[in-house]
Chains A and B, each alone.
Chain A
Amino acid sequence: MKKSSRILVIVSAVLMLGAYFFPIWKISLEAPQYPEGLEMNILINNITGDVAKINGLNHYIGMKHIHAEDFIELKLLPYAVGLLAAFGLLTYWRNNQKLLYTWAVLLIIFGVVGAVDFYLWEYDYGHDLDPMAAIKVPGMSYQPPLFGYKQLLNFLAGSFPALGGWMVIGAISTVIGISIIELRTKKNNKHEKSNVNTIGHSNVGLQ
């Protein structure tokens, strides 16, 4: 690896640890009678913010209560992030390009699985409603957006990464970037070999 790539590898590994200190994701709710807004912060092992208030409001539409204890994800996440960061340190220590590519692939898988899991979780909460609920709007489900804003009855729901999440996203992007650069350098050095390039392309595609 180039010297600059190696430095970025250690920076990325450290950046990932931000997930332990700052919220990863934030869901916000705004409504006319809540001008101050409601917030739900997803931490690496917990959910904080106005969860009780949101649960209170959601009971009108028959949504299940959100309890941090109910999420297996929040129990696995600290280990997953820890392992991925450790893999980065290993890459740095061994100074090995193959390890770097493996790490990049693992991070991409982590990102995709995370997004899909989050989507499914939102789908379940938004659709699995209590048939006894007080407010039933025909055809209405209450799935929050995966990313961005969405109007749900009187609430404007927003879903965005929070500081810890941005740090992880920054780390993943950087690792993918380094991988591409390293692949290009390799290609320039060895014109005849092109099989590695396909991996490089697929990386870009996934990104």
Chain B
Amino acid sequence: MSLSTPYSKLVLATAVAAVTFTTACKPKKAETVISGDAAQKVYVAPGKLDEVYLFASGGFSGQVAAYGLPSGRLLKVIPVFSQNPENGWGYSEETKAMLNTSHGFIPWDDAHHPQISKTDGSDDGRWLFINGNNTPRIARINLATFKTEEILEIPNSGGNHSSPYCTENTEYVVAGTRFSVPIEGNTDVPINTYKENFRGALSFVKVDPKEGHMNIAFQLLVPGVNYDLARSGKGASHGWMFFTCYNSEQANTLLEVNASQRDKDFIMAVNWKKAEEYLKQGKGKKTPTTYYHNNYDERTHSASSKVEKEVLTLDTRVLKDIVYFIPCPKSPHGADVSPDGESIVASGKLAAVIPVFSFKKMTDAIAKKTFESEFDKVPVIKYEAALAGEVQKPGLGPLHTEFDDKGYAYTSMFVSSEIVKWKVDTREVVDRIPTYYSIGHLCVVGGDNKKPYGKYAIALNKITKDRYLPTGPELTQSAQLFDITGEKMNLLLDFPTIGEPHYAQACPADVILKNQKKIFELSKNEHPYAVKNEKETKIVRNGKRVDVWMTAIRSHLAPDNIEGIKLGDEVYFHITNLEQDWDVPHGFAVKGAENAELLIMPGETQTIKWTPKSTGIFPFYCTDFCSALHQEMQGYARVSPANSTVALKSGIGETAPKNELAKN
């Protein structure tokens, strides 16, 4: 969680300031303000479907959760960067490769910002991208199957935080580094040579419009500061991308103090169309590096890793007019673009105003070279030249802004724990409502689209003291749902979330529903160990490796009797679910397996490796209650000593092995 560390002390530091500040602009007391019809507005009757999907990151859980709104019901936890014993993600032989990185197998990450793919600036419901912050990665989840299909490692990065925001038509998703680090050549340098040796890398990841496959088109090498969040331009500002930067002091220790010295940090405006021009002119430089690219193939139900060896870089010290800085009050977090693409809202966490920049004024200033200085060879536009105006006294700790369909903006206030609603064109505050407590990001349904859906705002909170039954020192984290259809915002619902709901995106359910996949077609299963019917099931020994080609169907596994496994063998159970019926997965677990179980979807094949540690009879069974005879869906594997003469045999019913006595 990137926010909590600097903030725990920040809260104390601003407490004194808050007293004087809030006399003029007093946030509401933290009491439950709820109107009478709230329950009715979130009640989704049994048998009825929710109106909206909410995709919330799990933060440090490394996963994504899908909720239904307005009910707040948890629908599914999608494993992305973290191993998940529930379904074998990251444990099964097919999915292990998804978690490969240049640092080895990394079964965890810090997943922050989900982004639904966009077409013409609106959510199209095809894919969900999310960043891995810790070991820089971007994942792509297919929203037809709610399955992670691709994970791309990002080289030259020290924390993938301003990521993976996508452009108007998902031409690119970006990966801006949080930590600048020494890159290219000698990276073993003293830390206090930050100013000389550390640089930032902003990666532009190209997305194939058909399959969604990602590859790093280019990296911009930019000044060594911290890059926090980003948003793409749209409409008027299509072709540009805006990143917030902090630590423009370029400090390398005790940033809490040393990176809070300057009155203003920056927004970096990136003209990616200009970068594309340079690429066309062959100005990109191929730089050696190593990073992993993992793909899960729906036809083989298997993932594979590819090692990439170079990346194309554009150095902004050399190539001009790609990037510009706009000064921005202290330590900005969000850089959010209004639906028309004209306003860029910056949230300076330590600032007393919310500056709103005008895209038109910014480009005019660039044309007229109204610069105040240069920072590491990047021109700094004059603050006033790009500014449309400031939202005065918005509250404490503005973090992130999203927009509705009626010309209003909603900004989350971390320190004063509230949402503030203001009018984009006049920048006047029109409403504020408390959140419980310490809101980070917020989400308006379609709030980063050209045409927001509006209707609901969701607060993603860090702290929930006194809101739920306690669960020891660690309490649940939560989201809160607000009705934003009226002039005043109304709290409708609190609901607990998995991990840290760092950020979320929401879109109308029908955008997702139309693509849903119900089964994997068995006839199209190209898994090398797939079995299309029970007659093809078999067991094969190859040295110490034993492969079991098994099928699952209501209500038996075939084969269900296996003999002839020897101590020291490595057994691979490859299980194909023969069902072709929606919502009939089968599970598979074997006694003493050191990894996890499997959950196999209809028509899918998945493999679990099992190394028995002793001789004897080992039961295996289906773990997903599938039918009235689910408890009967089981079998036995017999493990004999290494020197045993028991023949390798397997079967079911008539074909089960018979009377094979051990003769050792």
Contacts and interface: CB of A to CB of B under 8 A. Distances in A.
B579 A56 contact: yes
Contact of B628 (A36, A52, A60): A60
Contacts of B553: 56
A18 B628 CA distance: 42
B629 A52 contact: no
A72 interface: no
B629 A134 contact: yes
A140 interface: no
Interface string B304-326: 00000000000000000000000
Interface of A: 36, 52-53, 56, 60, 134-135
Nearest to A38: B581
Given A56-B554, A60-B627, A134-B628, 12 more contacts: A36-B582, A52-B580, A53-B580, A53-B581, A56-B553, A56-B579, A56-B581, A60-B628, A60-B629, A134-B555, A134-B629, A135-B628
Interface in B539-559: 553-555
Contacts of B628: 60, 134-135
A155 B639 CA distance: 43
Interface in B564-599: 579-582
A12 B365 CA distance: 81
Contacts of A36: 582
A142 to B, nearest CB: 16
Nearest to A53: B581
5 contacts: A53-B581, A56-B553, A56-B554, A56-B581, A60-B627
Nearest to B579: A56
Contacts of B555: 134
A52 B578 CA distance: 10
A191 to B, nearest CB: 67
Contacts of B580: 52-53
A38 B366 CA distance: 65
B263 to A, nearest CB: 62
Interface in B590-646: 627-629
Contacts of A135: 628
A35 to B, nearest CB: 9
Please indicate which of the listed interface residues A56, A60, A134 has the most CB atoms of chain B within 10 Å of its own CB: A56
A53 B628 CA distance: 16
B67 to A, nearest CB: 23
Q: Is the interface of B mostly helix, strand, loop or mixed?
A: loop
Contacts of A53: 580-581
B48 to A, nearest CB: 13
Contacts of B554: 56
A53 B578 CA distance: 11
A52 B581 CA distance: 9
Nearest to B583: A33
Contacts of B629: 60, 134
A56 B626 CA distance: 13
A104 to B, nearest CB: 45
A52 B579 CA distance: 9
Contacts of B582: 36
A52 B603 CA distance: 13
In the A-B complex, the 10 residue pairs with the smallest Cβ-Cβ separation, listed nearest first, are A53-B581, A134-B629, A52-B580, A56-B554, A56-B553, A53-B580, A60-B628, A60-B629, A135-B628, A56-B579
Nearest to A56: B554
B602 to A, nearest CB: 10
Contacts of A56: 553-554, 579, 581
A60 B553 CA distance: 12
A111 to B, nearest CB: 35
A20 to B, nearest CB: 26
A60 B554 CA distance: 9
A60 B628 CA distance: 9
Nearest to A134: B629
A12 B598 CA distance: 58
Nearest to B580: A52
A52 B553 CA distance: 12
A136 to B, nearest CB: 13
A56 B602 CA distance: 13
Contacts of B579: 56
Nearest to A135: B628
Nearest to B47: A35
Contacts of B581: 53, 56
Nearest to A34: B581
Nearest to A33: B583
B418 to A, nearest CB: 43
A51 to B, nearest CB: 11
Interface string B325-363: 000000000000000000000000000000000000000
A141 to B, nearest CB: 20
Nearest to A50: B581
A179 to B, nearest CB: 48
Most buried by A among B554, B581, B628, B629: B581
A39 to B, nearest CB: 13
A155 to B, nearest CB: 14
B577 to A, nearest CB: 12
Nearest to B632: A134
A36 B582 CA distance: 10
A117 to B, nearest CB: 30
A92 B628 CA distance: 59
A136 B581 CA distance: 24
A36 B628 CA distance: 20
A134 B555 CA distance: 10
A56 B584 CA distance: 12
Contacts of A52: 580
A52 B522 CA distance: 12
A36 B519 CA distance: 15
B313 to A, nearest CB: 53
Contacts of A134: 555, 628-629
B549 to A, nearest CB: 20
Nearest to A36: B582
Nearest to A35: B47
Nearest to B582: A36
A134 B553 CA distance: 15
A135 B555 CA distance: 13
A154 B61 CA distance: 42
A10 to B, nearest CB: 43
B583 to A, nearest CB: 9
B355 to A, nearest CB: 53
Contacts of B627: 60
A60 to B, nearest CB: 7
A56 B533 CA distance: 13
Nearest to B581: A53
A135 B581 CA distance: 21
Nearest to B627: A60
Nearest to A57: B554
A102 to B, nearest CB: 47
A150 to B, nearest CB: 22
A60 B556 CA distance: 12
A135 B627 CA distance: 12
A52 B629 CA distance: 19
A56 B629 CA distance: 13
A1 B553 CA distance: 61
A65 to B, nearest CB: 12
A59 to B, nearest CB: 8
Interface in B479-531: none
A56 B555 CA distance: 10
A134 B581 CA distance: 21
A36 B580 CA distance: 14
A22 to B, nearest CB: 24
A135 B629 CA distance: 10
A103 to B, nearest CB: 44
